[in-house]
Amino acid sequence: MFFYTDTADAPWTVIRSNDKKRARLNCMRHFLSQLEYPSKDPDVVTAPDPNIVLHANHMVQNANHILATSVHPKTRKS
């Protein structure tokens, strides 16, 4: 699914959610750090934890399941 839908115009962001509280907090941190709004305080709005919030391409390339070994159809060798 990531191969076809993760684009520059609409990138996927993956939130690892083994710890639900940390996942929710980092999801909020991600959105707040991406958006510009009046009176944004950079001391309060910090970047999310990179071990929890990932880009889709990083998640697929480093996965230990079937998606990691799959090849994009356009790059498959015949």
Q: What is the pTM of this model?
A: 0.67
Compute the C-alpha angle 52/69/20, nearest 5°: 20
Instruction: Output the pLDDT for position 56.
Output: 80
For the chain, the domain total comes to: 1
Q: For 41-73, how does the pLDDT look when each residue is reduced to its tens digit (9 = 90+)?
A: 988 889 999 999 998 877 666 555 555 445 555
Instruction: Output the pLDDT for position 61.
Output: 62
Q: For 23-47, how does the pLDDT look when each residue is reduced to its tens digit (9 = 90+)?
A: 999 999 999 999 999 999 988 889 9
Q: Which residues form the domain of 25? A: 2-75
Instruction: Output the pLDDT for position 68.
Output: 47
- For 15, list phi and psi in degrees, rounded to 5: -110, 115
Instruction: Output the pLDDT for position 50.
Output: 93
Interatomic CA distance for residues 63 and 76, integer angstroms: 19
